[in-house]
Structure 1
């Protein structure tokens, strides 16, 4: 038994030091090389931090581009989806309520007006994490008419702003083009 117990204790101690001390220090060291130094990437406007780049925020005022809905109310500590399937009656009611709200706030977004089929899915459904900070360019552009009217800006200028804040796919290959809503709304506030 002594032949088995001694190596097991030594292996436990080696793994304890390796996995409890060395590995966390290596990971923390690598994180300092990442953007934001391992503390997250912040978005600043007018010299002050207005949010984090990878965490969505709620924008529901009509003068801003609306964010993607969140199943966790944009709480990063509780990142999760709704866990309701696409045929769940409660989920379908929630999506329909979001569609109805969007149509009320965006009646004239595209001539002859926004139809239910025109609304991009990400404007009425939450992401898997509930924290997605991005929209598709189409989801941003369908809101342009509302914002142009409220802010007394030209729709062409707002479409240009959306285009300026559209990020292409990762490495030009992976994923769709996206618009970061917080950055777009910060730029919108900076317009004169």
Structure 2
């Protein structure tokens, strides 16, 4: 991370689909990037345990660890930040606040919330949004230009697609695992 680009370039997101390969993905993620723990499919006890396991691996790789969940829980679990809709990003000292956005209205909300970064998706078709529309390259760039904070491209992203998009920060579930 540099002063001009305060957030890492690559972001690995977890969920039920990539859980079987998440350890491998964390081990191969280049040092100094970021991991967003979602794992919504687990009950609280199992989610707590899985977070501890994966956060330890992520930290060993020099990665930021972000929790999709309430700010207080992120503090309790030792996360570096929170991930979620702009309206749910409580401000607590020491936590990065990463918003999710899918359209211009949500970019405005992320700006108002003064989020530290925003995940803009879905850029391309993905398994997370089967049959749903995607932003595409032109609309992604139009919306990204409206953000007051760093934008992280999400949705069908791979290294090749990040090159096509010509965007420095991107995230993936399947594309990195």
TM-score w.r.t. structure 1 length? 0.26
In proportion to residue count, which structure has more strand? 2
Over alpha carbons, which structure has the higher Rg? 1
In proportion to residue count, which structure has more helix? 1
TM-score w.r.t. structure 2 length? 0.28
